[in-house]
């Protein structure tokens, strides 16, 4: 299985547009240029969201294969992870099919979305098939209670594997969608209490992104930065682009 890159950039997400920031990449050429700039700035991975011709969130296996081919040619040094985020547009069967058919070695999947109108046995079988095919799933956990869902859906050999990948989302459901380094503690406590030693990372919303990522780095986690979660530098200024966020996080964490 491919391990998580240390500093992944998430440059656009499913919802933001150029109305939120003119440097947010939406077309494939823009995503490729952003990947190049972020690689130079020090990111070793890319979390990939695609948009359709109208700028809406797109989950399409063929479009993913095309994008991955282009990105692997232009930034071969970057690990590439696709998203299966529903964003209110896709149901779990489609998400599972894309995860298996897009040709990606790294896939980000929300546990909560996989169980929508789906029997546990189907979800468990899907995760086992991903493992059998060498598709590394990074499980999205929005709060510490999601550990219970993780334990319910994964067979013990996958749950206890050091190759288990997670990302903890900080600040998503706070009142102002801002994050605080203390938001990380409940996740770490549950992880320790369950005796898990996964390959874990953090993403964080709002102006607190930099401080949260520095805390994750201090505690041995990996990092995801970018306009999907935050447009702001630590001092509250609007970032110029995703590459600036990468550079600022690297400097703040002394990477």
Mind listing the domains of the chain with CATH numbers? 7-252 (3.20.20.70)
Q: At CA 70, angle to CA 69 and CA 72, rounded to 5?
A: 65
> pLDDT exceeding 70 applies to what percent of the chain?
98
Count how many Cα atoms sit within 13 Å of the Cα of residue 110 in the half-sphere of its side chain.
15
> pLDDT exceeding 90 applies to what percent of the chain?
95
Specify the range with the lowest mean pLDDT, choosing from 1-10, 14-23, 179-188, 192-201: 1-10
Whether residue 2 is predicted with pLDDT greater than 90 in this model: the reply is no
Give the tens place of pLDDT for each residue, 128-137. 999 999 999 9
Whether residue 176 is predicted with pLDDT greater than 80 in this model: the reply is no
Whole-prediction pTM: 0.96
Whether residue 114 is predicted with pLDDT greater than 80 in this model: the reply is yes
Identify the band that residue 175 occupies on the pLDDT scale cut at 50, 70 and 90.
low
Whether residue 75 is predicted with pLDDT greater than 80 in this model: the reply is yes
């Amino acid at each position: 299985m491919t391990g998580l890159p240390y500093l992944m950039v998430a440059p656009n997400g499913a919802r933001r547009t150029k109305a939120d920031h003119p440097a947010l990449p939406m077309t494939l050429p823009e995503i490729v240029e952003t990947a190049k700039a972020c690689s130079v700035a020090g990111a070793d991975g890319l979390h990939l969201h695609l948009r359709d011709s109208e700028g809406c969130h797109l989950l399409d296996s063929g479009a993913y294969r095309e994008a991955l081919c282009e990105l692997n040619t232009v930034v071969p040094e970057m690990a590439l992870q696709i998203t299966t985020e529903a964003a209110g547009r896709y149901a779990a069967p489609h998400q599972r099919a894309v995860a298996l058919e897009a040709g990606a070695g790294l896939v980000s999947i929300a546990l909560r979305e996989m169980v929508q109108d789906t029997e546990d046995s189907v979800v468990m079988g899907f995760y086992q098939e991903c493992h059998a095919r060498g598709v590394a799933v990074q499980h999205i956990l929005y709060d510490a209670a999601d550990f219970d869902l993780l334990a319910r859906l994964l067979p013990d050999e996958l749950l206890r594997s050091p190759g288990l990948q997670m990302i903890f989302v900080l600040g998503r459901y706070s009142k102002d969608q801002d994050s605080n380094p203390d938001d990380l503690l409940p996740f770490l406590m549950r992880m320790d209490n369950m005796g898990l030693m996964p390959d874990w990372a953090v993403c964080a919303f709002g102006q607190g992104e930099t401080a949260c990522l520095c805390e994750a780095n201090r505690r041995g986690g990996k990092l995801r930065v970018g306009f999907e979660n935050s447009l702001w530098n630590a001092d509250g200024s609007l970032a110029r682009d995703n590459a600036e966020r990468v550079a600022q996080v690297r400097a703040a964490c002394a990477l």
